[in-house]
Homo-oligomer: A and B are copies of this chain.
Amino acid sequence: MDLNERKLKILQAIVQDYIQTAEPIGSRTLTKRYNIGVSPATIRNEMADLEDLGYLTQPHTSAGRIPSDKAYRLYVDYLLQMKKIASFQRDSMKTNLLKRFGELEDVLQYSSKILSELTNYTSIALAPQIKGSRLKHIQLVPIDNEHIIAMIVTDTGVIKKPLLRFSGGMDFDYTQKVSALLNEKLAGLTFQDIEQKLVKELKEEAHQFSSIIQTIVPEVFKTLEEIDDFELFLNGTTNIFNFPEFSDIFRAKSFLTMLEEKSLISNMITSTEAEGLTISIGSENPFHQAKDCSLITATFKLEGNTMGWLSVIGPTRMDYSHVISVMEQISSYINQLLKNR
């Protein structure tokens, strides 16, 4: 018993119907809505087979069938193979997105907003942690007698700005010299390298600035450590209320509570390694909280470094076709942006 042409046809019809209606579908209704070419009785037999094979489940004996995660996986793989990317909204999106410049974080956040609006699902933007990235520029700026800001730009575009308390005062020229030295020594290195090896060396080498470097540099890193979470932006969280599977208050609650757990979400998203689109369906997700959800993640890379992630999360009964097409569009513009900065 394998998946012949007819079984595939029936399965696809069921998946598509369920994505639209969220209702279990029976053999008779299927023949009415779709042109399968066989009678309900035959479909019933095929459905029983498909259930045995694990593609369909039945909420109760006298109900229709609903697709399993396995069925969605088949459907999605088929879709990805076809890659029938629609080309809607191309122009308006392009100009809007390209008009924005600035930090990658902003671009991701803005894209996430568009994404949730276009798909009506919840969208998540995630910027990488600073640790793995490379220092592009560091600049100490004295604010007043007691405070210095260390402005830090990385190759992933993240700009962190730890505010340091530094009693004793320091004038601009001095911070300028220190900044120049730090740039010279540290630019291009990863933060891990800097922290592990170079601070010591630097202290020894730069005698004339040893006091300030001993005070400031560890302080900068300590503060960075503290603020260095994954930055997570959510959009369209209330969209789940549009879906009947979340009209149960407990489901809605657990979904929204899951979204509030930043660490869980970022774990789930960053676990995707491959560049491009990754789809994980229902129980494929690493956390049980997400077992009724599908997560579509676009990973952005530049020269091997991960620059950020963009995700859509929704019910397993997700309109994969639509979401994939929108995400492919947005991804291509972001990649364009990444290459041209």
Contact surface of A with B, Cβ cutoff 8 Å: 101-103, 136-137, 139, 141, 143-144, 149, 151, 153, 159, 161-163, 165, 172, 176, 237-238, 241, 247-249, 252-253, 256-257, 260
Say which residue of B103, B241, B260 sits within 8 Å of A163 (CB atoms).
B103
Q: Which residue of B lies closest to A141 (CB)?
A: B139
Q: Within 8 Å CB of A260, what residues of B?
A: 237-238
Other 12 A-B pairs with CB < 8 A, given A103-B163, A159-B161, A176-B176: A136-B143, A137-B144, A149-B159, A151-B151, A151-B161, A161-B161, A238-B256, A238-B260, A241-B252, A241-B256, A241-B257, A256-B256
Asked if A249 contacts B253 (CB within 8 A), the reply is no
Q: Please state the number of chain copies in the assembly.
A: 2
Contact B249 A237 (CB under 8 A): no
A256 proximity list for chain B (CB < 8 A)? 237-238, 241, 256
Contact of A241 among B151, B172, B176, B249 (CB under 8 A): B249
User: Shortest beta-carbon distance, A329 to chain B, in Å?
Assistant: 24
| A141–B249 CA distance with the chains assembled, in angstroms | 51
Q: How far is the CA of A103 from the CA of B144 in the complex (A)?
A: 14
Residue of B nearest to A176 (CB): B176
B143 & A149 in contact (Cβ 8 Å cutoff): no
Contacting residues, chain B, for A151 (C-beta < 8 A): 141, 149, 151, 161
Contact sample, A vs B, 18 pairs, CB 8 Å cutoff = A102-B163, A136-B144, A137-B141, A137-B144, A139-B139, A139-B141, A141-B141, A141-B151, A143-B153, A151-B151, A172-B176, A237-B256, A238-B253, A238-B257, A238-B260, A241-B252, A241-B257, A252-B252
